[in-house]
Every structure is written in structure tokens, then in C-alpha cells.
Copies of this chain bind each other. A is one copy, B any other.
Amino acid sequence: MNAMTPLTLHPDRLLPADPAVRPIARQLYDAVRDLPIISPHGHVPPQWLADDVPFEDPTSLLITPDHYVNRMMHAHGVSLADLGVGQAEFSPEQKRNAFRLLCTHWKAYRGTPVKFWFESELVDIFGIDVVPSAETADEIYDAIAEKIATPEFLPRALYRTFPIEFIATTDDPCDDLRHHIKLAGDPTWDGKVAPTFRPDKYLEPATPAWNGLVDTLAEVSGIDTGTYAGWVAAMENRRAFFKANGAVSTDHSHRDARVEPISDAEAERLYALARSGKITVEDGHTLRRNFMFQQARMASEDGLVMTLHPAVYRNHHAPSFERYGADVGGDIPMAVEFTNAVQPMLSAFGTNPNFQVIFFTIDETVYSRELAPLAGFYPSVYVGAPWWFIDSPEAMTRYRSAVTETAGFSRTSGFIDDTRAYLSIPARHDTNRRMDSGFLAKLVADHRLTMDEALDTAYDLVVTNPRKAFKL
């Protein structure tokens, strides 16, 4: 590859090459390209927007916190430490070196969405037309560093530039939501940043951290969590606090999708065991599934939308977890089952007009087999967009192909970026808009939809669907 060739973004990138389809896709894409971004699930730190201070440097912005980027380098033998992961101290020279490592391994990202996102960021956000490589790393690093020091690259300015219309963060139930409150009270800020209630750790009574967390829950809510009934009341209290501060959804990620009630008496019994640190792993699952049922019941009352992201083996590589902690790229998906798992929940709340749930999966086999049939019957169920590992062009096409014929377009969630990589948000949504335009264009080209129907649907997927699915 000639390093002198400038990096350019073709206007038709990701659109189908077929000459009978591309012009249609381009027309559809043009109609949605510039619509504001709705991002109802993600991991951007709210403090960035609340405090609106400049990003520090290219590496701490684009590499260290982004496990999409890091995991591939790790697979090529790069130590996570050299990327800044888990490093209390990380010198300017180390940061520059981390960026060099990324550029040196740039070839490894071919065919992955990271390449698409990063190149989009370089060209579209930073105006840098240089292909990453060992030779160009420093030049790119310096150019980015210079840009992020300017007012145009402050978090709030970028929010307006992208532009974002709504963004949700992901927050601990005991969080005081100070950043959200600050934003809400700031007369100079007219964006929308909503918290999301993410109670996973409080629902796993057989884990070592649980008792401490539940103690904190009592403190924060002012409700005694010594009993199961207290846990339930405290949860309701925190959900109400989140809702009062703008939350629209709760997010749940456990090893399986099972949601199943037990009697209150049995729940109290298991809860007491858990509080005394004596619950077995198996009973822990039973109680957790009941906790989940309680979350669903609360959702049917307070109207917060549930999102489920089950079946990931967290911290698969034990030594990496011990050295670097969680969320460093060592999570590996597993097969998941929904049909049986969610039956008790949907028999109880599935047609409750106040209840809404979105099922996300990395196990693509459930799309046509389970999720589309569920969303094609239950008015409360939406099929979540491809997520995490499958938040990518080929997978998006497989998703639409697998889901649409049973659930149509209207029963899908709309895109979620699910990212902490703030600068990648426009590119991620753009990827999805391009792929959905291509999918719709194919349906127009073989006369399954008229152009009017496709244009209307393209708009819905970007605007109407996320609004409906997340009750915005």
C-alpha cells in the first residue's frame, strides 16, 4: 500500500455494489443521512457533557477505554498495559507509543467495523487524510491532539455538531446522577442526556460483592434492605429517582435470559441466606431470576422500558481479569435461549400496555427462531438491533434478513451504538443508516416495496422506531 495515497471516504461506501440497487440505496440514504442521532443506549460518561472539559489526548480518548480497539491488538500479541489499560500512570510518551501500536497494527482491522469507524473519525471529524501506519502514527497523533484542544472539540460542541438529539448513559442504581442533574439545571444546555438504570450487580446474590452493594442500596434509598421486601422497596425507590431524572429504560445483562417468579416466602428465605453469605450458586440464579421478574413487574408499573443483553461469559481470561479488571475485551458470548426463558414474564406482562421490553443478542440464531416470532406476537416486545460484536455491516444485513419477514420493520428497536467511544457515535449510526438503506433498496429493486414505502421505512428506522421502542 502506498502510504502517500491519501485516506478518502467514498460517498457510496457500504452501499450495495449491484448497479441495479446502489442508486436506490443512495436515494434512501440521502433521505436519512443528516437526521439527528438518537442514542437511547450507550456508555458515554455523563461527566463529559456536564463539565464540558477538553479531551486529554488521542490515546485516552480513542484507545485506552475502547475494548473494540484494544482486543484486536491483544490478539496480535500487544499487552493491554501498553495501551494504557489499568495503568494509574501512563506517560505522554507511553500514550504516543500506544497510538503507534494501533497504527502499526492497522492492517489487522481490515474487514472490521473499527476500521470503518476510525477512518470516518479521521476524515469526517478531524479532517485528517492520512492512512494509519507505523510511519504516519506520530503525524496523526499530533493532528488529533491539536484538534481536541480547540473549542470545536469540546464534548458539548461535538454533541451539536454530530448532531445528537438524545443520548442515554448507563448508571449504577446508587448513583446520585449529579451530572444529569447538573445538565438539567444548566440554562445554557439544551441537549438531552438521560440516565439508564443498570442494576445487574444488585441482582446476583451469590457473588462476593452483593452484600456490600445491597448495604449501599439501603443507605442511598433510606430503606432497610435486610429483607427481600426491603430490597424490592429500595429498588422501586431508586427506579423512581432515575425516572424523575429522565431515565427511560433499565438495562440487564445476566448469564441467561430466564425471568421467573418464586413465592414471596421462598424469596425471603433465599434472600436471608444470601444476606448471611450462605446462598448457593444455584439458589443465587433462582433468586436472581425472581429479582428480574420483580424488575419486570416494576416496569409494568413505572413504565421504564427493559432492555436485556444476556449470555456473555464475562472476564473469560482469568489472568487478564486479575491484572486489568473487567471490561477490557475479554468477554465472550454464549448461546442463549429466550422462548422458554421469558415465557413467565411475557405471560404475566406481555400484553400489559405499560410494559415494554427489548431483547438484544449476540447469538444470531435466535433472530429468526425466537425473537422475531416473539416481537411478531407480543405488543410489548421489540427485537434489539445487532449489538457489540455484531454491530457491523454484514451482521446488520443478516439481522434484517432474519427478523423482517416475521416481525416486519416496525417491531425492531432502531439502532443503538452502545459505546463509550464518543467520537465513533456518528460513524456507528452512519454505518447502520447505510446498511438499512441498502437492505431496503434491495427490497425495492426486487419489487417487494415501493420507493415510497422504503423512504417512509428508512425514516421510521432512524426516528420512529427508537422513539417507540424507548418511549422517547
- Name A's B-contacting residues (CB within 8 A): 1-2, 5, 9-10, 12-22, 71-72, 74-77, 107-113, 115-116, 313, 316-320, 329-335, 337, 339-340, 343, 346-347, 350-351, 353, 362-365, 368-370, 372-379, 381, 389-390, 392-395, 398, 401-402, 404-411, 442-443, 445-450, 452-453, 456-457
Contact = CB atoms under 8 A, between A and B. Distances in A.
Contacts of A20: 17-19, 22
A309 B317 CA distance: 22
Contacts of A108: 408, 410
Contacts of A19: 18-20
Given A16-B446, A365-B365, A370 B405 contact: no
A329 B17 contact: no
A100 to B, nearest CB: 19
Contacts of A456: 1, 107
Contact of A347 (B319, B331, B453): B319
Contact of A379 (B76, B112, B331, B381): B76
**Shortest Cβ-Cβ A-B pairs, 6 listed:** A17-B445, A13-B447, A392-B405, A10-B447, A111-B404, A17-B20
Contact of A76 (B14, B374, B410, B452): B410
A14 B446 contact: yes
A112 B113 CA distance: 29
A461 to B, nearest CB: 11
Nearest to A19: B20
A457 B17 contact: no
Q: Please tell me how many copies of the chain the complex holds.
A: 3
A341 B379 CA distance: 35
Contacts of A346: 316-317
B376 A443 contact: no
A317 B347 contact: yes
A370 B333 contact: yes
B2 A452 contact: yes
A112 B405 contact: yes
A449 B319 contact: no
5 contacts: A15-B446, A72-B408, A75-B379, A362-B369, A372-B389
A409 B108 CA distance: 7
A291 to B, nearest CB: 22
A74 B389 contact: no
A358 to B, nearest CB: 14
A410 B107 contact: yes
Given A72-B376, A72-B408, A74-B379, 7 more contacts: A16-B446, A74-B377, A75-B378, A111-B443, A368-B390, A369-B389, A389-B406
A381 B14 CA distance: 29
B405 A393 contact: yes
B75 A377 contact: yes
A2 B442 CA distance: 21
Nearest to A382: B75
A447 B75 contact: no
A18 B16 CA distance: 10
A367 to B, nearest CB: 9
A333 B447 CA distance: 29
A1 B450 contact: yes
A377 B17 contact: no
A343 B318 CA distance: 9
Contact of A13 (B362, B406, B448): B448
Contacts of A334: 337, 339-340, 369-370
Contacts of A374: 316, 332
A137 B120 CA distance: 47
B330 A377 contact: yes
A366 to B, nearest CB: 8
B373 A333 contact: yes
